[in-house]
Chain A
């Protein structure tokens, strides 16, 4: 079987503060395949923070 797994989390303001009044929820989601031998994500890109500028 395959399914999408996409956790969304929000960090406490006592740990790190966002620029908004409330810390926002961020999400990472990928398509996952389950076979008889194991579980893997189908995507190939590196999962890391992405910015539009260096």
Chain B
């Protein structure tokens, strides 16, 4: 169950689907921040927990690896996308990244929305807030 798949509408928890992928978003004076964290409904003995734990551990490591790869003012948005894709592809337990990852799609829609600013823009401290990758 993914939060943005229901448009915020309540849904019942299916017994065999004990993973909730929530998405919490807040905006203040035009600046937006979001958190996402898939949560397992149950405990370590609940069927499916082993998969959940393995996938979450991998995702968290991927998150930290990618963030650590950013060099302020130097790394481009496209380089971050490429780094993310490379990390996934070199991990033998992960499914291969689709040609257009959600990260890449969001990145491209962001640059399209900005119009004049084209794809490789650099990730630096001088940009405004609220972009979503």
- Total interface residues in chain B, CB < 8 Å: 63
Q: Which B residues are CB-close (under 8 A) to A31?
A: 33-35
Q: Is the interface of B mostly helix, strand, loop or mixed?
A: mixed
Q: How large is the interface on A (under 10, 10 to 19, 20 to 34, 35 or more residues)?
A: 35 or more
Q: Which B residues are CB-close (under 8 A) to A18?
A: 48, 51-52
CB distance from A29 to the nearest CB of B (A): 3
CB distance from B110 to the nearest CB of A (A): 9
Q: CA separation between A2 and B63, bound complex, in Å?
A: 15
| Residues A29 and B36 in contact in the complex (CB < 8 Å), given A1-B127, A18-B48, A24-B19 | yes
A residues touching B (Cβ–Cβ < 8 Å)?
1-12, 15-20, 23-32, 34-43, 47-54
A-B contact pairs, 12 of them (CB 8 A): A4-B34, A9-B62, A12-B95, A19-B16, A27-B36, A28-B37, A28-B38, A29-B36, A32-B67, A39-B68, A51-B41, A54-B43
Closest 6 CB pairs between A and B?
A: A29-B36, A1-B127, A53-B43, A3-B131, A15-B93, A19-B48
